[in-house]
Structure 1
Amino acid sequence: MIWVDADACPVVIKEVLYRAAERTQTVVTFVANQSLRVPSSEYLRTLRVAAGFDVADNEIVKRVGPGELVITSDIPLAAEVLEKGGEALNPRGERYSRETIKQRLVMRDFMETLRSSGIPSGGPAALSQKDRQLFANELDKWFRAG
């Protein structure tokens, strides 16, 4: 089972997931606080949650089980998924791990502090073809390991 933090998931990554769900016959659930359109498939589902801060994240954490994969760029969500025995992968192909998640949380908090102090930190670079390929490769590794 794969859960997707769909509000901020890039379209190109969703398309990779659509194809992977069909190819591997794996259920992929897209969780968002808005209506989503996904291709008609017995393997693709949507779950609409109420609008609000972290509502989709909290729903994913509540439902994710050990060994299931969550696609998210939200580091605190990834940390909670890892605590529950799930796995987490961001849309750029970075697999979050128990060994590195604390460091990622510290860096996220540091950057948040800089931004709130008025120091411009810029945002993430646009998703590249290399990022998309890294994502697809890591997703395939997860399928093979399962």
Structure 2
Amino acid sequence: MTRLLIDADACPVKAEAERVATRLGVRMVLVSNGGIRPSANPLVESVHVAQGPDEADKWIAGACGPGDVVVTADIPLAAKCVAAGARVLRPNGEELTARNIGIVLATRDLMADLRSADPFRQGGGALFSRADRSRFLETLDRLLRAALHS
């Protein structure tokens, strides 16, 4: 049975994901350390994990598998989910697969090394845009439909 698992603590596309999941009749699970307002939607479940680093990630990595779609910005979590057979989507609409997760992990590690070597090289990437939100909606719809038909 296909589920949509959301790494919800800092996810900017929860509402969009809920709309797509509802339209397709897919169960959605919001996983967080708390502070996420529960949805009245009967297809949406909130899972609150213990406080602590990576507790939501551990829950998602242990729960996901083939047929599931996971939304996360956390690259190590994405790698675990891809390895478990889940389809993975970043909030900006980028799909992470077995073909590209290695390079994404390597780039993440390289950037972390560069930031730690140069205290003046700080800050994040590009701001989240309307184009990112649109790309997310399109890709999520495609991934959920594929998961439902596999």
Aligned residues: 144
- 1:129 maps to what in 2? 130
Alignment check: 8 A CA contact 1:114 1:121 kept: no
- 2:16 matches 1:16: yes
Alignment check: 8 A CA contact 1:94 1:135 kept: yes
- 2:84 maps to what in 1? 84
- TM-score for both structures, normalised by structure 2: 0.91
**What is the identity, as a one-letter code, of the residue corresponding to 2:62?**
K
Work out which of the residue numbers 6, 9, 19 in structure 2 matches 1:7: 9
Alignment check: 8 A CA contact 2:39 2:45 kept: no
Distance 1:115 1:34 in 2: 30
Structure 2, unmatched stretches of 5+, are none
Cα distance, 1:119 vs structure 2: 4.3
Alignment check: 8 A CA contact 2:6 2:72 kept: yes
**What is the identity, as a one-letter code, of the residue corresponding to 2:126?**
A
Structure 1, unmatched stretches of 5+, are none
User: Structure 1 82/97 Cα, relative in aligned 2: closer, same or farther at 3 Å?
Assistant: same
Question: Where do residues 1-146 of structure 1 align in structure 2 (5 Å cutoff)?
Answer: 1-10=3-12, 13-117=13-117, 118-145=119-146, 146=148
Please list every run of at least 4 consecutive aligned residues from structure 1 whose deviation after the TM superposition is greater than 2 angstroms: none
Percent of residue pairs identical: 38
| CA RMSD in angstroms, aligned pairs only | 1.1
Distance 1:48 1:39 in 2: 13
- TM-score for both structures, normalised by structure 1: 0.94
**What is the identity, as a one-letter code, of the residue corresponding to 2:66?**
P
